[in-house]
Chains A and B, each alone.
Chain A
Amino acid sequence: MINKLIFLYFAVVMIVSAILMVTRRNPIHSVLFMLLLFFHIAGLFVLLNAEFLAAVQLIVYAGAILILYLFVVMLLNVDKESAAARANRYWPWMTAFGILVAGEIVLLVSRGTFPANAGQQPMRLASAGVGALGTELYTKYLLPFEIASIVLLVGLIGAVMLAKIKTKE
């Protein structure tokens, strides 16, 4: 019961802050609502016995990616923001499309057969925790892990090369 209340709190705050994030005019406000959203997603991860990923969510997403966004938003001065239109002219159609997509998924879920009592038992101790996650990551998923490191390297080099000011010789 208490878990359901906690979940409902997280869900309501997440949806409200996501809607506010999408609709705010000032991008800095959007970034701050996104920060609130990420904190609550981390709380939801703790509720699902994924403590390590909750920490990763806070450190990488909230700590690194969002601060990068915040820096770039502040670097590019967006002073025309208050006068310009915030949405393109198709936004009512797009909102209707989004409601359609969400309604379709809700309809599918409500007609599907999820086990009603799933999740009654906590995850077994041998298969939970950071140690098991690390063992899984470094044995069974070693090749995808190395590929992910190459993806990060390419992203790093690409960002540096793109943002470098071209010097005319």
Chain B
Amino acid sequence: MIPLSWYVILSAALFAIGVVGVFSRRNIFILLMSIELMLNAANINFIAFSHYLQSLTGQIFVIFVITVAAAEAAVALAIIILIARNRGSVYVDDFNIMKG
């Protein structure tokens, strides 16, 4: 069967792609989707370990992660709508109004 380390390496690759997306893109939608990508990489790890340890705890945890991701997406998109309405831009470079 499939070794557990393959799943871990796959989720590490997805997580690293998400990190690069968060740190290097300017469009705020793609930043948020990169965060979702990182959450999904963690979910793959949870379910792979839950399968290989014969325990359901990992799957329970994935349900909570999906719940938090849904709430986060709703609030974040509301904030994006507000910022875009106020500043007329969806680029994070234009939002750095809080720096000193």
Contact = CB atoms under 8 A, between A and B. Distances in A.
Interface of A: 3-4, 7, 11, 14-15, 18-19, 21-22, 24, 27, 30-31, 34, 37-38, 41, 44-45, 47-50, 52-53, 56-57, 60-61, 64-65, 68-69, 72-73, 75-76, 78, 81, 84-88, 90-91, 94-95, 97-99, 101-102, 105-106, 109-110, 112, 114-120, 123-124, 127, 132-133, 136-137, 141, 144, 148, 151-152, 154-156, 158-160, 162-163
A92 B91 CA distance: 19
18 contacts: A18-B13, A37-B37, A50-B51, A53-B62, A57-B66, A65-B69, A69-B33, A76-B81, A87-B26, A105-B8, A105-B9, A114-B3, A114-B8, A115-B52, A120-B1, A148-B67, A159-B75, A162-B81
Interface string B68-100: 111111110111111010000011110000000
Contact of A65 (B6, B24, B36): B36
A6 to B, nearest CB: 9
A163 B81 contact: yes
B17 A137 contact: no
Contacts of B66: 56-57, 60-61
Contacts, number: 232
A38 B76 CA distance: 20
B71 A154 contact: yes
Contacts of A4: 1-2
Q: Do most interface residues of chain A lie in helix, strand or loop, or is the interface mixed?
A: helix
Nearest to B8: A109
Which are the 6 A-B pairs with shortest beta-carbon distances? A155-B71, A102-B16, A98-B20, A91-B24, A105-B12, A162-B78
Given A14-B14, A53-B62, A116-B3, A88 B93 contact: yes
Interface in B1-44: 1-10, 12-21, 23-27, 29-30, 32-34, 36-37, 40, 43-44
A154 B92 CA distance: 26
B26 A88 contact: yes
Contact of A88 (B5, B24, B70, B71): B24
B51 A21 contact: no
A19 B25 CA distance: 12
Nearest to B11: A105
A163 to B, nearest CB: 4
